[in-house]
Structure formats: C-alpha cells, structure tokens
Amino acid sequence: MAVPSRVVTNHDLAAKMETSHEWIVERTGIEERHWVEPGEGGAELGARAAKEAIARAGLTAQDIDLIIYATLSPDFNFPGTGVFVQRLLGIKEIPCIDIRQQCTGFIYGLSIADAYIRIGSYKHVLLIGSEVHSTGLDVSTAGRDVTVLFGDGAGAVVLGRATDDQHLLLSTHIHADGSEAEILWTEYPASTRHPRMSVEAMDERRHYPKMEGKRVFKHAVTRMPQAIMEGMVANGLKLEDIDMMIPHQANLRINQMVAKMIGMPEHKTHNNIQKYGNTTAASIPICMHEAIELGKIKPGDLVCLVAFGAGLTWGSAFLRY
C-alpha cells in the first residue's frame, strides 16, 4: 500500500468548513485521512504500492504480464492511468486495462484477473486500486457532507496461478444497478455536455462529487450482506468458516451494521477508515494489507472481501490467503 505523507485531520477540515471532529467521528468513524501534495498523482501512489506487492510476491516487474488499474479518479482524461504506472515500473508492451467501478473496483479487478489467469492468458496480473480524491473535493461548507469522507491512497496485489488449494481465490460475485446512478456521481466534465466544462457548471459546483448519503447508506447495508451470502452459498461455507472479513471502507457505521446483520463477530472484521477515510478502489487492498501486517490474516485463512459503491455497484470475493 501507499498513501501520501500529508495527514489531514478532522480539525484541519473544521478550519476550512462548518464541520467538527465530533460530527465526523460520530457519523463515519473517520479521524484523519491522507491527501496528496500538489503534483503527486494516482499513478505514482499506485506504482509505489505495486513495487512493494511485486517484491513481496518474490517477482520482478518484468514478470508482470498484465496491469489492471481500478480508479474513479484517473490522473488525466485519457489515456488511462495504467500506462503511466507501466512506465514508472519500467515495463514495456504488456497490456494495461483501466476499470471504473468506484468502490467495487478492486472486486471487479479480482474477477477480471481471475478469469484471465484461469483461461491461461496471463501468468502474473498486477491489480492496483488507486485514488486521488482530494484535488476534486469541495472544501467549502457546501461540500462538507462528501468532502470529509474521502482520502487518497493506493493498494496493489499480484495474482498468479494457484499451486495448491490452500492459497487461492475461491470466488468473485459482481453486480451493478444503474437505475439510481446519479445518487452518487460527479457530473462534470462530461462529454455529453457542450462544452464539457463551463464557468456556469463550476459556479453551480457541478464538477464536485454529489451524494444522497442516506439512500446510498441504505443500499450499502442491503447489498453488502447479500453479496456475502451469495459467496457463502456458492462456496458451501458457514459463517464460522470465515476467518476475516475485509469490507470496503466507506463508513464505520455501515460496516458495523453489516457485521451485525450477518452475525460476524467484531474480532473477525478489520476496519481502518479511522486513519485513511474512504479511498474507494484502494480501500480493500489497504485494509487487507494492514490486517496481514497486524497478523489478523495468516496464510491459509479464509478471507471475505465485500464492497458497495457508486454505479451502483457491489460484490464479494472469497479467498484462502
């Protein structure tokens, strides 16, 4: 994982907008997040996380034959950010796929990597979730409901063909429902608008992310338990079989509610939104990395990953680490 060095506390935000440490902690659990310094980008964070993942896999960058880059905050409009990571890693001519499934991006990425590895197209897939939210947030009081939630960061994994049944990806289940896409979105710049960006749109703050928080919350606490149950049924698992659940980090209250709804004891889940905020596609690999470092996930453990986010999109993955 990689996060920018600059830590932004709730008190720092309270100095810029009408909010408070108490409100943010009570509603979300978030205490601080990391935001980039000018010039620092998602590709750079992604490449830092990727280098660590490749080294821990006992490989070199030259062993990677596909990059999947999940983000909702690409460094530029085009090309996709994956090619910039490829360049930073010094790898040439391997394919780079950018995917746009927001908070569920990492689970979607796992399912794509899994399919390619199963059919034998690629041997070592580098999957990165990386986000720079801070450069696109409204730091005035008008944007406070969304701005206090998000942090910058990246997480990366290397996937290869399993050599035994003790360390493998068991399943991925991914879903989407576009019928309420606009309850969590950033409208501008948009190729359906002429021009794509205008002074009027900026005056109306339509280039900042907008969210109907309560509706998104309700969908999250419905869809995440469904995705977990779907994976458990597909793998013939009981709740007791799961050693650790790593949920997407959007709101500590959501994750506590999901754990309670499915009956997962607290010591079998890990959350770190307190330190990083919501890093969308990066949140699951960052949280998983920390759980591994803390010894909460050990080799062979059965791990459940679950996410919900804009789109709306949701899904789960089950693996033996």
How far apart are CB 32 and ligand UT7 at their closest, in Å? Answer: 14
Annotated active-site residue 173? The verdict is: no
Helices (H) and strands (E) in the chain, counts: 11, 12
How far apart are CB 103 and ligand UT7 at their closest, in Å? Answer: 4
Residues that bind ligand UT7 in the complex, under the rule CB under 6 A: 19, 23, 27-28, 103, 144-145, 148, 213-214, 216-217, 220, 250-251, 254, 278, 309-310
Let me know: does 80 contact 71? Beta carbons within 8 Å.
Answer: no
How far apart are CB 113 and ligand UT7 at their closest, in Å? Answer: 22
H-helix or E-strand containing 129?
strand 125-131
Annotated active-site residue 34? The verdict is: no
Annotated active-site residue 278? The verdict is: yes
- d(Cα 55, Cα 61) in Å, to the nearest integer? 9
The residue type found at 109 is G
H-helix or E-strand containing 220?
helix 213-235
How far apart are CB 167 and ligand UT7 at their closest, in Å? Answer: 29
Q: Which of 251, 271, 272, 278 is catalytic?
A: 278
At residue 243's C-alpha, the angle toward residues 67 and 171, to 5°, is 40
Q: Which of 10, 34, 96, 103 is catalytic?
A: 103
Which residue in this structure is represented by tokens 């060095």?
5
Look at strands 184-185 and 210-211 and give their pairing: antiparallel
Q: Which of 34, 133, 248, 270 is catalytic?
A: 248
| Residue (60 or 141) nearer to ligand UT7, CB | 141
Question: Annotated catalytic sites, by residue?
Answer: 103, 248, 278
